[in-house]
Amino acid sequence: MQFQREYVGYMARQVLKRLTAANLIQYDQPDYVTEVMTQVMLDELGLEDRINDEVRKILEKHGDEMKQLGATFEDAFKAIKKQIIRDRKIIL
């Protein structure tokens, strides 16, 4: 993930402030809502990192096959990542 937790918390507070100012949401527990929003944003921002880790594990298992086929790590990484994203219908 490319953002620090503190910055994600700041972004969550700003989003909630703007949604509240536009009368799009109302809530009674601002600290709780901010924490939940921060966690949701962290989970979403970490999704690509988790996918990248999964792709690396797959490539480690099939490293010999890649060498036999002459595929580069980068090309195989991109292809597997695209396939995972397509299969799971993820938007990055």
Q: What is the pLDDT of residue 1?
A: 62
Q: Write out pLDDT tens, residues 18-57.
A: 999 999 999 999 999 999 999 999 998 889 899 999 999 9
What tokens were used for 77? 């990484």
What's the pLDDT at 29? 94
The whole-number pLDDT of residue 18 equals 96
Residue 64: pLDDT above 90?
no
What dihedral do alpha carbons 77, 78, 80, 83 form, nearest 10°?
170
Q: Is the pLDDT of residue 7 over 80?
A: yes
Q: Which residues contact 3 (CB under 8 A, 6 or more apart)?
A: 11, 45
Concatenated DSSP letters of 40-80 = HHHHHHTHHHHHHHHHHHHHHHTHHHHHHHT--HHHHHHHH
pTM for the whole thing? 0.67
